[in-house]
Every structure is written in C-alpha cells, then in structure tokens.
Amino acid sequence: MPVFPIRSSARRALGAALLGLAAVAASAQDMSGGTDIARRAIHVCAACHGEGGRSASAAYPSLAGQPAQYTARQLKDFRAQQRAEADNKAYMWGVSALLDDDTIQALAEYYAVQAPAPGRARGPDRLLKEGRRLFEDGVPGSGIRACAGCHGERAEGAAGFPRLAGQHADYLERQLKGFSTRLRPHGVLMRAETAGMTAQQMRAVAAYLQSL
C-alpha cells in the first residue's frame, strides 16, 4: 500500500477525533451494544461529514441516505486497512480502529435514514447530458455499462451499492480515478467498470450525479 503524506490540519483533526472516540469508548464500557456509543460517535463524524451526514465539503463524502450495508462494509474495510484515501488514509484508519461491529452497524443504520441534501447542478448542460447518457445507457461496445443497473434509476443505491445521487462531483471523480490504483483493493467490479472510461467521461457522470 503506498504511503501518502498527511496534511498538518488532517493530523490535528485525527488527533481530536481519536481522543473523542477514545473518550466515547471509555465512557461506554458498561453499556451493551453499539447504539449508545454510536450516538456519541456521530458528533465526531459530523466534524467532516456534516450534520446528519450531509457533507458541505467535497473533501468528504455525504453519508446521509447511504444504504446501511454499504456504509458498514466501508467502515470495516477502513478498520481492516483494506481501503484507503489519498489524503486521509491515516484519519479513517485511526477512527475506524476504535469502532466495534455493533457501533459500526448502529452508525450505518443512523445515516441510512437521514435525509440527503438536494442535488446541486454544476457544469454546462452538455456535460450534464453526457453524464446522464453514461449513467442511464453506458457505452455499448466499450465495456462501460449503465451505472443505473447497480446504483438505481435515480442513483439512490441499494444494499451493497452506494447512493451516488447528490454526492460531491469532485469526490466522485476522485473515487472513479482511484479504482485504477491500490487505494480500493476490494473494488474489483468498479475497476473493471471504469477501465474503459476517459477522464472526460468520469467528470461528466460525476457532475450529473451531483445534480440529482
């Protein structure tokens, strides 16, 4: 796994988050299950992912409305150091290391029922139209299948497939590019799906998804 530098601001945030979650875990040692711990951990998550999981920054994904199964899987992958991000790998590895299975499940269920923020159109109409075509139809003959086939007609996500609707375009574009690297070793399916996509196509579909 490649090693990436950690920004000083991210290092400070990681320290604060770890202290916060450590305090949560320590104060909850006599509690059963992960619900009470998760209730407090949500405040730590909100520092990056926003209140109710509605992120205001493209540096962090929105979690509101994500299928619980998907969110839980990602947190467990971070905890096992089987998923990384180019600019905040240590942050998510450190935070998730303090979460047990019950807490992860409680967090995932909490975010699954939160109302997502409305979509925000960005970019010229031609870019959004290209993105919609890619999402709905793919590119027959080029190995690019319609995204809607797995992520839902309105990109609402289901089970193990994430909600993409309303997600930050810049974040989505980074993820699409990341599947060709070792940052997402479990993303075998998406690695194949994105192999035939150009940078322009990734930008287009990401812009369209943000608008939903």
Q: Does 190 belong to an annotated binding site?
A: yes
What is the DSSP secondary structure assignment for residue 210, as one 8-state letter? H
118 within 8 A of 166, measured Cβ to Cβ? yes
Distance CA 145, CA 119 (A): 23
Q: Does 31 belong to an annotated binding site?
A: no
Structural Rg of the chain based on CA atoms = 17
Q: Does 48 belong to an annotated binding site?
A: yes
Q: Does 49 belong to an annotated binding site?
A: yes
Q: How far is CA 60 from CA 26, 31, 44, 47, in A?
A: 27, 30, 14, 10
Task: Report the phi/psi class of residue 144: left, alpha or beta, with left for phi > 0 and alpha for psi in -120 to 50.
Answer: beta
Q: Does 43 belong to an annotated binding site?
A: no
Binding residues for heme c: 45, 48-49, 92, 147, 150-151, 190
Binding residues: 45, 48-49, 92, 147, 150-151, 190
